[in-house]
Amino acid sequence: MSLVDRTLRCAVAAAVLAAGAFGWSAAASAQAVVIRSTGPSAAAYPMGRKLPAGASVTLKAGDQVTVIDQAGSRVLSGPGSFKLDSAVNRDAGGTNTALAALIARGGARTRTGAVRGETEVPTEAVRPDNVWYVDVSRGGTVCIADPAQVVLWRPNRAETGNGTLYGADNTPAEVTFRAGSAIKLWPIATMPVVDGQTYRFTSPVGQTVKITTRLLGDVPEDPVAVAAMLAEKGCSAQIEVLASAPAASE
């Protein structure tokens, strides 16, 4: 094969890869994802459903559907019809900032319950403040962005908490949350995180839960793409964390 032919083939391959990457990016930006749904039309708009750009959502009285798109997240309240064009007239700055914080990655953020200025961090919360934290009170299928640093999360941080994580072979690994902290790193040194494996977590103060891990490849930084990926993998508890972000109402 001549140098020209090799160069041309490499250029074509690079173009194909670029087109694939652009295709995913375009698909992510050209859709909305349902992250919460209640009311008579909930079955038609289940959590995790992807909606194409320009789609219309028709709701009945009593319906509330929360969607996330490139303009942020918003709550659609029926009755009415709403077009998902990512160009609605709303202030998306606050919702986008909140969504970005929820999907942020990179070291575990410690919450101690101490007073910071005039704000006191509550000792108990309903759900994690980061999509990538593993809620040991719920379990279920959990998407893992970085298997080298998996953060376990508990709802009540008031007291020291002890638990035990069991692998597929029933080997235990002790987990201790210190008083005032809601998070603890997964003991990967003794229990690696494996794709598709189910673990058990037990504690004296809660029910035993099963945690099935789904390792992700390249994790996008776009909240819509993250929501779509979580939906595809069946990580519903993490979609609920996204739904906890402030949303504009329409």
pLDDT for res 53: 81
Distance, CA of 1 to chain centre: 48
pLDDT for res 4: 36
- The stretches in the chain having pLDDT less than 50 are 1-30, 89-90, 110-119
Q: Specify the amino acid at residue 121.
A: V
Predicted model pTM: 0.78
pLDDT for res 61: 96
The domains located in the chain, with CATH, are 31-103+221-250 (no CATH), 118-217 (2.60.40)
pLDDT for res 77: 94
Residue 101 to residues 114, 126, 139, 157, 183: CA-CA distances in angstroms?
21, 17, 22, 21, 17
- For the chain, give the number of residues: 250
Q: Which long-range contacts (CB under 8 A, 24 or more apart) does 98-102 make?
A: 98/245, 98/246, 99/68, 99/72, 99/73, 99/223, 99/242, 99/245, 100/223, 101/129, 101/130, 102/129, 102/130, 102/131, 102/223, 102/241, 102/242, 102/244, 102/245
Report how far residue 35's alpha carbon sits from residue 132's, in angstroms, rounded to the nearest whole number. 16
pLDDT for res 108: 54
pLDDT for res 20: 35
pLDDT for res 44: 95
DSSP class of 220: P
For residue 215, list its beta bridge partners: 144
Task: Write out the two tokens for 115.
Answer: 């007073």
Report how far residue 84's alpha carbon sits from residue 54's, in angstroms, rounded to the nearest whole number. 5
pLDDT for res 73: 86
